[in-house]
Amino acid sequence: MSWLKLSLKVGLSVVVLLGVFLFINSEIRERYAFWDDDPDRGAVAMNDERFDENFSKPTYLSQGWNASQSLWFYSATQGSDMIPYDFFMALEQYDSPRWFRDAANMNRYRYLPQKRSFSNPDALPVGFVKDVYQGKEYMGFTCAACHTSQINYQGEAIRIDGGASMADMNQFMVDLGRALQATAKDEAKKTRFIKQVLARNGVTRMISGGRDYSSATEVEADLLTYISRINSYNTINHPGSTQYGYARLDAFGRIYNRVLEHVLMRKDIKFALQEVLDDEQVEEVLGELDAGLVQNGEFDHLLAKLDVLLQAKKIRRADIVKLRDLLFIKANAPVSYPFLWDIAQSDYVQWNGIGDNGTLGPLGRNSGEVVGVFGTLDWQKKPGFSISSLILGDGKDRSHISYRSSLDKRNLRLIESQLAQLQSPQWPEKILGKIDQQRAAKGEVLYEKHCLSCHARIDRADPDRRVIANFTKLEAIGTDPQMASNASTYTGRSGIVGGLTQSTPVGKLYLQDEAAVASILTLATTGVVSTPDPDLWAPTRFAEWVYTLATAFFSNDVVSTIKRGDYNPDTTVEPFASLKAYKGRPLNGIWATAPYLHNGSVPTLYDLLLPVKALDDWDEEIRPTRFSVVYREFDPRKVGFVNRPFSDRALMFETHKKGNSNAGHEYATAELSREERLDVVEYLKTL
């Protein structure tokens, strides 16, 4: 009995000591993470030759964050592993010997250049960061890459934390692939590249924590690997005829495709190959694929490996494209990057409310986002069971799915806690001019009559504020349906998660071989969230995972509730019917979020109050059907970006293209006069 008591005391002491250690360790790490307090927040002035848009060092508005919080947000790792970090630092532009990471080049994609600071020693742009997974360094994205914005006015710049980015990620990825390919083909570039990479992996790096590359052979091999991976990503996610351009991305389409790639199993590859090749070719390809892969595992970058194999066998490009169409969805529904203030207080998130923000919803939502921006997913079938297999109902056949990944769930939880303190920006009268209070008062009356039912007013600084989304079904709101339709109707191969069940508002849904991608994504993120971080020290791995999930759960005051508004409810026949809708939310800070509508099809708030087509007089004002989406020069009267003609047609937004419709949301547009529209715009500046 005495031994039992002693064992219990020792066990309890160990648990208490481990808990104290985790708490102290977490406090130290968080204090260190917020150490950078550069008063400029790393911001720099820029002379933009290409777009003739020069600006001074950006000004920050009062949004509830101090300098340390902004700088932490810019460089908070999530587990995004795009390419080796040394590659990004040593890479030249495809048509120039200048660095790809050069500030002018990053600004060209509308990523925001930064100077060196404590938390950013390599002067990476906002939202770019060094990430470490399994001992290897990668360049990856942070939340800030897509959710930090800037507006310019007469040479002055205003930086908006949590704002909608103007970035052109698609072109960035295309040019990154070109730069890697040019490096492999041009001997002079390749020689310089290898020299730079190896120099970064010298004695100092080895002493400080190891090096990723020790020979030119290793560098060349990985160069070919990442050319294949980036090209595969770009091919799978080609936007088709609807180019995204600046300020837009089909984020959900790309997240869906990343998940579909990583659930693939041999049977799914065989299914697709049988549609494009004869039986002999199918068996030959599968045989060679099996030789380099575990049959039920090693899913990360499987398609890149298959792509190399098919090209080596001189399979027709048309057949490879057909193969991709069988396995992936079309990422052809670009939307504006959402702004993030009030997100932690919202009941449903994303343009169509696909994300329930209650309980652990934010952690799952953020996990899905990281999957879309190159989180590494080392998923495999393994014997035995795991915590995640019990949560997802897997493991009944004496095996389970290992959802091991690079995702930093601790930081994902911290990001959400910081966003809870973020506030919408207020109109800066010293820079953009004074608000006409008489006009604004008239506009407030009109707002209450025509807008308030969908766009409630809230106190931006109230820590207890709640944001209740108001949904409107597609046929009623009339805006471009592409994003909502894709999210609710797309299906794909369920692969490794096939046979599992997913809970929906109308009951459990069994995942057959072909299943709704929304279900596959939910299961995948649940698996990732329920798996401890493999990069943590083994004795603390489980304890920190429990701490992260418990903190995320108990710190979230949002309760899962029934959706509000005019939408089609989910049914057993159509379990995702409610996703065919868009949500209205409070408009505080709306002045800083152009272009407007979910797909960025309207350049200014004034234009949004215009009808799509002339109703009576032939000279009546209508919404623009073509406008530029590259300039950040602000129009304080119409509230949005100026519309300057640009010679490159690809940089012009054309509303006749699929996914680009500027129709819908025409409530009261026919009733308002020009002066009344200006009154409403003036009032919107005050929110």
pLDDT digit string, tens, across residues 631-678: 899 999 999 999 887 777 767 899 999 999 999 999 888 889 999 999
Helices (H) and strands (E) in the chain, counts: 24, 23
Q: Which tokens go with 73?
A: 């947000």
Query: Residue 295's pLDDT is what?
Result: 44
CA-based torsion, 253, 258, 262, 268: positive or negative: positive
Return the pLDDT at 124: 97
Strands 156-161 and 148-153: antiparallel
> Which residue reads 């150490």 in tokens?
35
Using DSSP, state whether 492 is helix, strand or coil: strand
Q: Give SS3 for 160.
A: strand
pLDDT at 411: 92
Looking at residue 234, its pLDDT comes to: 92
Burial of residue 497 (number of CB atoms within 10 Å: 0-12, 13-18, 19+) = buried
Are residues 427 and 63 in contact, defined by beta-carbon separation less than 8 angstroms? Answer: no
Residue-wise pLDDT tens digits, 597-626: 999 999 999 999 999 987 665 557 899 999
Q: Are 105 and 112 in contact (CB under 8 A)?
A: no
Question: Do β-strands 470-473 and 564-566 pair in parallel, antiparallel, or remain unpaired?
Answer: parallel
The one-letter amino acid at 278: D
List the end-to-end C-alpha distance of the chain, in Å, as a whole number: 69
Taking Cα atoms as reference points, which of 121, 32, 25, 114 lies closest to residue 68?
Answer: 32
Q: Report the alpha-carbon distance of residue 212 to residue 423 in Å, rounded.
A: 41
What is the Cα–Cα distance from 421 to 33, expressed in whole angstroms? 17
Determine the Cα–Cα distance for residues 96 and 180; give it in Å rounded to an integer: 12
Q: What is the DSSP string of 222-237?
A: HHHHHHHHHHHHHHHT
Q: How far apart are CA 324 and CA 237, in angstroms?
A: 10
Amino acid at 354: I
Closest residue by Cα to residue 370 from 561, 110, 138, 179: 138
CB 260 within 8 A of CB 272: no
Residues found in the chain: 687
Return all residues near 629 (Cβ < 8 A) that are at least 6 apart: 245, 246, 247, 248, 595, 600, 603, 641, 651, 652, 653
Q: Which residues of 468-483 are buried (b: 16+ CB within 10 A; e: fewer)?
A: bbbbbbbeebebbbbb
514 backbone dihedrals φ, ψ, rounded to 5°: -110, 120
Sign of CA dihedral 649, 650, 653, 654: positive
CA distance 386 to 394: 9
The type of residue at 613 is K
The β-bridge relationship of strands 248-249 and 634-635 is unpaired
C-beta of residue 338 within 8 angstroms of C-beta of residue 351:
yes
For 34-135, where are the alpha helices, taking DSSP H only? 67-75, 85-90, 103-108
pLDDT at 298 (0 to 100): 46
- Tokens found for residue 575: 């379990």
DSSP state of 132: E
Helix (H) or strand (E) run with residue 543 in it: helix 538-554
The structure tokens listed for 260 are 């579909």
Q: Which residues contact 157 (CB under 8 A, 6 or more apart)?
A: 43, 45, 55, 56, 57, 58, 59, 150, 151
Render pLDDT for 264-314 as a digit per residue (tens, 0 to 9): 888 888 888 898 888 888 888 888 777 655 444 444 556 666 776 777 777
Parts of the chain with a pLDDT under 50? 294-299
